[in-house]
Copies of this chain bind each other. A is one copy, B any other.
Amino acid sequence: MARLIEQFERLPGIGPRTAQRLALYLLRQPEEQSQAFAEALLAARQQVGQCQRCGHLSAETLCNICLNQGRNIGLICVVADSRDLLALERTREYKGSYHVLGGLISPMDGIGPEALMIQALLKRLDPEEVKEVILALTPSVEGDTTSLYLGRLLKPFCQVTRIAYGLPMGSELEYADEVTLARALEGRRAME
């Protein structure tokens, strides 16, 4: 019992009380449920690997997005990890392909460019095929560093763009922090 609680506690966002509640709940359910849970866990861990092309989570050699003929392979959106990819998919606006870096450059944490999937990205940049790379990295020191690095590296091969930083939807100018407002001003665009 203590071992099960401890395992739950290791998960992000789950404290000791929640861990105890979850463990007690499972013990009160039929044994099949625990078996199914354990099997799902082992199977997921064994079967889910990385897409050989874009680095997204995938049980097959290529992920569903890379296999989808309807996606524009001339457009590659670069993200730090699969969670960011899934966030962009939820918008249902993006019809291009992705490339998952597996992190961001962070000299403070000893993460340099060589630790990221950058060589694999360069290999994908056939100038006949890829017209634009969109950098969709978080607006932070690490995200900015990585965007600058990739911008310089990729520009000889294709157009490199960066997602917009500015006021989020539904926000008030009055409550926006100074850096966000300064970026929103700096990044202004002509009205169509």
Contact = CB atoms under 8 A, between A and B. Distances in A.
Interface of A: 77, 79-80, 83-84, 86-88, 90-94, 134-140, 147-148, 151, 155, 159-192
A173 B87 contact: yes
Contact of A84 (B86, B139, B147, B174): B174
Given A160-B191, A163-B166, 17 more contacts: A86-B174, A93-B182, A148-B191, A151-B192, A161-B190, A162-B191, A163-B184, A163-B187, A164-B165, A164-B167, A165-B168, A166-B167, A166-B168, A168-B168, A168-B180, A169-B179, A169-B180
Nearest to A79: B173
A155 B163 CA distance: 26
B138 A185 contact: no
Contacts of A147: 191
Nearest to A86: B174
Contact of A189 (B77, B92, B162, B173): B162
A138 B161 contact: no
Interface SS of chain A: mixed
A185 to B, nearest CB: 6
A87 to B, nearest CB: 5
Contacts of A159: 190
Contacts of A151: 191-192
Residue from A159, A186, A187 whose CB has the most chain B CB atoms within 10 Å: A187
9 contacts: A83-B173, A87-B176, A87-B181, A88-B185, A94-B185, A139-B171, A140-B169, A164-B165, A168-B180
Contact of A188 (B139, B162, B175): B162
